[in-house]
Every structure is written in structure tokens, then in C-alpha cells.
Amino acid sequence: QVQLVESGGGSVQAGGSLRLSCAASGLTNSPYAFGWFLQAPGKEREGVAAIDSIGSTSYADSVKGRFTISKDNANNTLYLQMNSLKVEDTAIYYCAAAHSTIPSPAVVAGYGMDYWGKGTLVSISS
């Protein structure tokens, strides 16, 4: 059973940076796509960034140029480097994995993911 555990959330001022981590366990040798999603208060969950099984990345328009997704295959850890943070980035951030070769744009667009973490809170103040 795949388990995903996020960490790295916190409270920072606008313009600051945070790096989220997602430790994955239970992975097999089969291909996976990974993504970061956020859910702001009162809103639906939406895709932020994704990396697919061949290492291609995609981003939501709202975070392009500010966020970077990466993956450490040796340690089964997914990262989201978030720079130039804005108040509107405030949300719970979730890590997710799909046991699939789906391309990264499909992950960001909301393709069904198979496994989810419990989330980590990011709070940006002005």
C-alpha cells in the first residue's frame, strides 16, 4: 500500500519561500505520476504541479515561474519549492500519486489520482 506523508508547511509573509516535501513508501517498480494539489478555504481542490513517469513537469498557470516540482528517486521523496509566495497561495497542500503513465498535464488538470497524503497547511500573510 502506497503511503504519502507531506511536511514543510508553515506560515510565512508574502514574498517568502517554503519547500514542501512528500515522503512516499510502498512504491513498486511500476511507473507513477506525482502531483501537488491545493485546497483553499471554501474552494475545491485543484492541481498545482505534476511530474510524470518520464520526468516531464507541468504547472497551473497561477504558479508558473514561482513553484518548482522535483523528485528524488533514490529517497522516494517529492518536493515543491514555492517562491514569491502570495496571500492567495494560502491553502492545504496535498501530495498525490497515480499508478500510471499519464502525462503531467493530465495530472494538473485533475486526472484521478490513486493515493493521497493528509496534507500540510501553508499560510501566507500580507
DSSP secondary structure letters along 2-48: -EEEEE--EEEETT--EEEEEEEES--SS--EEEEEEE-TTS--EEE
How many helices, marked H, and strands, marked E, lie in the chain? 1, 11
pLDDT of amino acid 111: 85
Res 124 pLDDT > 90:
yes
Joined grid coordinates for residue 77: 521523496
What 3-state DSSP class applies to 11? strand
pLDDT of amino acid 110: 82
pLDDT of amino acid 30: 83
Joined grid coordinates for residue 9: 508547511
**Torsions phi, psi of 5, nearest 5?**
-130, 115
pLDDT of amino acid 63: 98
d(CA 50, CA 68): 9
Note the pLDDT tens digit of each residue in 4-56: 999 999 999 999 999 999 999 999 888 999 999 999 999 999 999 999 999 99
Res 2 pLDDT > 90:
yes
Note the pLDDT tens digit of each residue in 58-89: 999 999 999 999 999 999 999 999 999 999 99
pLDDT of amino acid 19: 98
